[in-house]
Structure 1
Amino acid sequence: MPVSKLTWDVFALFGLLVTAVVVSRPQPLASFVLASAGLAYLVLAGVGSASYTIAAVLTSYLLGRRLEGPRPAVYAFSALAAAGLGYAMLLGVIRGRLDTQVMQWLWMVFGLVLLAVFPWFAGRFMRQRAELLRAGWQRAEQLEREQRIIAERERLRERARIAQDMHDSLGHELALIALRAGGLEVDRGLDQRHRQAAGELRMTAGQASETLRTIIGLLGEPGRLAPLRPTNDSVADLVERARASGMAVDLDGEVDVTGVVGLAVRRVVQEGLTNAAKYAPGASVDVRVERNESFTSVSVVNGPPVRSVAADGGTQRGLIGLRERALLMGGTFAAGPEDGGFAVRVRLPHDAGTVVEPIETTESVREQVRRTARRGLIVAVGVPAAIATGLVAVMFGYYAYSVTHSVLPLEDYDRLWIGQSKEGAEDMLPEMEMLDAPSMPNPPGAGCRYYLAEPAILNFNTAVLRVCFDGDRLVAKDVVREPHQ
C-alpha cells in the first residue's frame, strides 16, 4: 500500500505508539494491545514499520514477564486475530479481492506469532523460572529448618530410648530383686533380724521401681514410644534368671528366634516376666513361643497372685511399647486379664521390617525446580513453534490452492477477443484471480483481472495474463509479465 495513503493516520499511529510506551509498566496488557494492534494494522495495509516491530516485541515480552496468568494474554491474542479478520474481510469486500485480504490476514497472524507470541512466551518463561528459583531457595531454607527440627526431635527420641532402656533393664532387675527379697522375708529359716532386713530391701526395691517409673514419665516422649532394643539376653536366659529369683516359670516351644522378630519376642517375654514379678508375686508363669512358615506367636500368661499387691496398675508403658512395635511390624497384640491372672499375646509376621520415613532433601527440590524450568522452556519454545508451523502450513495450502485455481491456459486466453461480452468471457476464466497481482494502471474506466498462464507453485517467473472489462465488454487483454527464458 503506498505510503501516501497512510498520511491521514500517521498521527494516530504515532499517538498509539507513544501511549503504549507510557502505559507499559502500570498496564502491560493495554500496552501490548496497543502496540500489537498498530502492527497488525500496518501488516494488513502492506506497510512495514521498525518502530512498531520493536514495540510489539518489547511489550509482548514485558506482558509475559509482568502478568501472572496466561488467560488475559490469550484473550488479547484471540481478540486481535478476530478484529484483524473482520477488518480484512471488510477490505476484501470494498476492494473486491477477498482472497488477497485473507492471505494478508494470515500474514498478520503469522507476524503476531513471531513478534508477539514468541516474546510473550519468553517473558512468561523468565517469570516462571524466577518464581521457581525463588520457591526453590525458600524450600531449601524450609528444609534446613526442618532438618534442625528433626535433629531436635531425634534428641528427644534418644531421651525416650534412654528412659525405655531404664524401664526394660533396671525395672526388670528391680522387680526380680524385690521378688527375691520377698522370698527371704517369709523364709522361716532366717532369724527375725534378717527377715526384717529382707523386708526393708523389698520395700527399698519397690520404692526404687516407683522412682524409676516417675523419672521415665518425665523423660519419655509423650504419646509415643520409640522402637527400642531389649537386652541381649535370649528367651532362655530371661526365663533362667526369673527362675533363679524364685519365679515358677514354664517355658515351652522354640526359643531360638533371630532377627527383628527375635528381638520383639525377647522384648515380649521380658515385659511379661517383669509384670508378673511386680503385680502377681508367687504366681506361676507360662511362656510359650510357636513358629510356622509365616508367623511367630509368643505368649506370657501368669496365674492369680499368691500374695496381695497394691491396686496401682502402673503406667503400662511397657505394654504400650509392645503394642506399638507389634503394629509397626504388621502383627497383632493382645493383653488383659485371663482366668484371674494376666496374659500378653503377640503374633508377628516373618517378613516384618523396619519402616523408614523418606525425608525430602534439598537436592531433590532443586532437581524438581530444574525439571519444571526445563518443561517451561519446552512449552515456551514448542507452543509458538507449533502455532507458527500450523500457520505456515495453512498459508502454503491456501497459496497452492489459489495458484492451481487461478490458471488461465494460453489456449483459452487466445480464444478471448476484444469486444467480447463479459458473460461469454467469464465462462473461460478461472474461478479465482492470482495472488500478489502486479500493480499496474488500468485502462480508463476499466477493471482488470490477473491470471497465471500455468500452475507453477514454486516458479515465480511464469507468465501473468491480464484481461480488462469496461462494463459488460472485454476492452483489453495482454501479457503483463513474460516468463524469463
Structure 2
Amino acid sequence: MTGPAPAPTSSPLVRRLAPYAQRVRDRREPLLDLLLWLAVTAPLLLFHDAPAWARVAGVPVLAVAVALARRAPLVALALPATLSLAATPELFTSSFSVALLALSYLLGRRSPDVRWALLLFAALCVAGLALVLARRDTTLWEWFTLVATVLFALDLPWLLGRFRRQQAELVRTGWELAARMEREKELVADRTRLRERSRIAGDMHDSLGHDLSLIAVRAAALQVQPDLTDGTRAQAAELRQAAADATARLRQILGVLREDGDRAPREPATAPPEPLETLIARAAASGVQVELVRREALGLLPAEPPPMTAHALHRLVQESLTNATKHAPGAPVTVTVTRNAETIEVTVANPAPATADPVTDTGTDRGSDTGSGLVGLDERIRLLGGTLRARPLDGGFEVAATLPLTPHADPTATPDGLATETDTSREALDRARRRVRRRLLDALWIPLAATLVLGLLMLGFNLYTSYRSVLDADAYGRLHVGDPFSRLEPRLPAYEYDDETRPFGAPEDPPDTDECRYYRTETFDNSPVYRLCFTAGHLSHKDRLTLS
C-alpha cells in the first residue's frame, strides 16, 4: 500500500486551501489533454507512411478523440483505429501508432467495462478481414499484420491499463481498510464499555441483591422482637421496606445497564470468591434456614476448583439463596455440593413456603422480578461448558447445575454478535490483491496465447500458400513465349512464391519487362522456382531459377 494518507478534511488549513486545490485540478486536466493531443499528433508530421488525406484528417480526429478520452474512452480509441484502418488494411502505421497505444492504455485505465473493449478489437479484426478480401491488391498476410497490430498495439496496452486500474483500486482498498480499522477501534472501545456495564449490572444483581435481601430478612426478624418499643419496631419496618424499595430500584438500574441480548459478564480470574461456608453462615446469621451438604467421591484430593468454576459456583449459590428469600420466605434451603472426578454438581432446593409472616416476608414484589439472575447464571455456566436446570419441585423450587473442573469453553473468546469489521475489510483487501495479480497474469498470458494462436494461423496459411503456389512441370512446359496473359492465367497457381516483386536471391528481372511472377517447383522453400515475365500483356520470358 503506497501513497500519502488523506489529510483530515476538518483542518482549518485544509478548508482554506480546498478552493485553490480544486482550481488546480480543474486546470490540470485540460493541460494534460493538450499535452496528450500534441504527443499523438506529432507522428502525423514526422512520418509519411499514411496517405496525405489520412494525416490531414488525423489532426482534428485526434483532437476529438483526446477530448472524449475521459468521458467515452471507447469512442476515443475507435476514432483513430477506424481512420488508421481506412488508411491501410494492415492497421499499423507510424503516423497513428502512438495514438493507438496511448488511447488503448487510457481505455483500460479509465473504463471498467471489458466486454465493449473486446468487441471493438474483434470488430477491427473482422473489418480488416473483409477489407482484405474485398481488395485485389492485398493478401491474407496483410490481415495477419492487422491482427498482430490489434494484439500488441491495442490489446496489450489495454491490459496494462486495466492492471494499473486494479493497482489503484488496491491502494484505495488499503486506505479504506485503514479507515475501517480506526472505526473498529472506536467500536471495540464502545463494546468494552458495554461489557463492563453488563459486568457491573451482574455484580449488582448477584451481590447487592443478595445483601439487600439479607438486610430485609434481618429487619423483619428485628421487627418482631418482643423487647422492642413501638417506635423501634416501626423503624425496623421502615428499614425492611427501604431494603425492598432498594431492591426494586436495583432492578430498574439493571434494566438500563444491562441491555437486551447482553451476554453474561466474565468474572476476573484474579479475585477468588469467598468460601461457600462463609456465604452460608452470613445467610444463616440473617435468619435464613439454610444447610450446606458436601459430598466428595472417595480418593479425591481436596483441591480448589479453577477460578472461573469457583466464581460460577459462588454466584449460583448466592443467586439461589436470594431467590429463595424472595419467593419462598421462611422455607428451609438445602445446598448440596457433590464433587466428582471431573465435575462439581450443585443443587439448591427449598420446599413450598409456609404462610407469610413478618419475620421472613421481605415485602418484595415477586411479579416485578425480571428473571435476569437465572438467565445470567445459565449464560455464565454455558461459557464454562456446564449445564443449569431450574424447575419447580413439589411446590418448592430446585436449581441444579453441573460445573466442569476443566472448563471446555474459552472464557476469553469473542462473544457472538461482537464480530468487528476487520475480517470483512481484510477479505476486501485480499480480493483486490487477487484481482491485481489476475490482471497481471492476464497482461502476460493473453498476449502470449494470442501470439501462439496467430503464429499457428500464419504457419498454417504459409503451408497452404506454399502448396497452392506450386506450378506443375507439365503445365510449365505448355506455357509458350508470346501467349497472352489472359490465356495463361487459368493454368497458373492461385498464389505466387512470394508477395514481393522478386524473391530474395533471385537475379534481376530481364530488361523491357512489365512484370515477373515466381512460382514454386515444390512446396519446400529451398527448391528452385519458375519465373514468368510479361511484356505488354504477353509472356516474354520463362526460366527455372535456383535461389542463392
TM range (shorter): 0.7 to 0.9
Tell me the equivalent position of 1:320: 375
Q: 1:388 aligns with which of 450, 461, 473?
A: 450
For the aligned residue pairs, the C-alpha RMSD in angstroms reads 4.5
Q: Any idea what the Cα deviations from partners look like across 1:217-257, whole Å, max 9, x if unmatched?
A: 33333442442428613445434443444322343555964
Return the alpha-carbon distance in structure 2 between the equivalents of residues 295 and 428 of structure 1.
105
Return the alpha-carbon distance in structure 2 between the equivalents of residues 291 and 444 of structure 1.
119
Q: 1:191 aligns with which of 219, 227, 232?
A: 227
Give the total of aligned pairs.
Answer: 467
Q: Cα offset for 1:55?
A: 0.5
Structure 2 contact 531–543 (Cα < 8 Å) conserved:
yes
Q: 1:20 aligns with which of 65, 71, 80?
A: 65
Query: Which residue type is aligned with residue 312 of structure 1?
Result: R
Return the alpha-carbon distance in structure 1 between the equivalents of residues 241 and 63 of structure 2.
98
Q: Any idea what the Cα deviations from partners look like across 1:332-369, whole Å, max 9, x if unmatched?
A: 54434332223334456752223315545499479637
Tell me the equivalent position of 1:450: 519
Q: Cα offset for 1:273?
A: 1.5
The residue correspondences of 1:68-147 to structure 2 (distance < 5 A) are 68-91=112-135, 94-95=136-137, 100-101=139-140, 103-147=141-185
Q: Any idea what the Cα deviations from partners look like across 1:296-332, whole Å, max 9, x if unmatched?
A: 6544332222352444332222122123334555665
Q: 1:37 aligns with which of 82, 91, 113?
A: 82
TM superposition score normalised by structure 1? 0.77
The residue correspondences of 1:377-456 to structure 2 (distance < 5 A) are 377-398=439-460, 401-402=463-464, 405=467, 408=470, 412=473, 416=477, 418-419=479-480, 433-439=496-502, 448-451=517-520, 455-456=524-525
Return the alpha-carbon distance in structure 2 between the equivalents of residues 360 and 339 of structure 1.
51
Q: 1:462 to 1:144 in 2, by over 3 A?
A: farther
Q: Cα offset for 1:20?
A: 3.0
Query: Which residue type is aligned with residue 318 of structure 2?
Result: Q
> SS where residue 44 of structure 1 aligns?
coil
Q: 1:294 to 1:123 in 2, by over 3 A?
A: farther
> SS where residue 478 of structure 1 aligns?
strand
- Greater CA drift, 426-435 or 111-120: 426-435
Query: Which residue type is aligned with residue 324 of structure 2?
Result: A
Q: 1:8 to 1:177 in 2, by over 3 A?
A: closer
Q: 1:455 to 1:320 in 2, by over 3 A?
A: same
Return the alpha-carbon distance in structure 1 between the equivalents of residues 431 and 451 of structure 2.
30
Return the alpha-carbon distance in structure 2 between the equivalents of residues 478 and 21 of structure 1.
56
Return the alpha-carbon distance in structure 2 between the equivalents of residues 398 and 267 of structure 1.
87
Q: 1:67 aligns with which of 101, 108, 111?
A: 111
- Greater CA drift, 49-58 or 277-286: 277-286
> SS where residue 353 of structure 2 aligns?
coil
Tell me the equivalent position of 1:205: 243
- Greater CA drift, 425-434 or 269-278: 425-434
Q: Cα offset for 1:408?
A: 4.7
Q: 1:51 to 1:426 in 2, by over 3 A?
A: closer
Query: Which residue type is aligned with residue 373 of structure 2?
Result: G
Gaps of 5+ in 2: 1-47, 297-301, 504-508
Q: Any idea what the Cα deviations from partners look like across 1:47-79, whole Å, max 9, x if unmatched?
A: 852231001011111112222322221221121
Return the alpha-carbon distance in structure 1 between the equivalents of residues 248 and 172 of structure 2.
55
Return the alpha-carbon distance in structure 1 between the equivalents of residues 323 and 260 of structure 2.
22
Gaps of 5+ in 1: none
Matched, 1:341 2:406: no
Structure 1 contact 35–55 (Cα < 8 Å) conserved:
yes
Tell me the equivalent position of 1:352: 409
Q: Any idea what the Cα deviations from partners look like across 1:12-42, whole Å, max 9, x if unmatched?
A: 5666545434433443211111222334455
Q: 1:232 aligns with which of 253, 273, 288?
A: 273
Q: 1:371 to 1:280 in 2, by over 3 A?
A: same
TM superposition score normalised by structure 2? 0.69
Structure 1 contact 301–343 (Cα < 8 Å) conserved:
yes
Return the alpha-carbon distance in structure 2 between the equivalents of residues 377 and 296 of structure 1.
61
Q: 1:468 to 1:364 in 2, by over 3 A?
A: same
Q: Any idea what the Cα deviations from partners look like across 1:356-400, whole Å, max 9, x if unmatched?
A: 155454994796377246425424523533443333432453255
> SS where residue 520 of structure 2 aligns?
strand
Q: Cα offset for 1:116?
A: 0.9
Q: 1:156 to 1:5 in 2, by over 3 A?
A: closer
Q: Cα offset for 1:162?
A: 1.8
Tell me the equivalent position of 2:27: none
Q: Cα offset for 1:272?
A: 1.1
Query: Which residue type is aligned with residue 20 of structure 1?
Result: A
Return the alpha-carbon distance in structure 2 between the equivalents of residues 113 and 73 of structure 1.
12
Structure 2 contact 215–243 (Cα < 8 Å) conserved:
yes
Tell me the equivalent position of 1:150: 188
Structure 1 contact 405–430 (Cα < 8 Å) conserved:
no
Return the alpha-carbon distance in structure 1 between the equivalents of residues 216 and 399 of structure 2.
22
Q: Cα offset for 1:180?
A: 3.8
Q: Cα offset for 1:413?
A: 8.7
Q: Cα offset for 1:199?
A: 4.8
Matched, 1:164 2:202: yes
The residue correspondences of 1:451-470 to structure 2 (distance < 5 A) are 451=520, 455-456=524-525, 464-467=529-532
Matched, 1:273 2:338: no
Structure 1 contact 295–347 (Cα < 8 Å) conserved:
yes
Matched, 1:284 2:332: yes
Structure 1 contact 260–352 (Cα < 8 Å) conserved:
no
> SS where residue 165 of structure 1 aligns?
helix
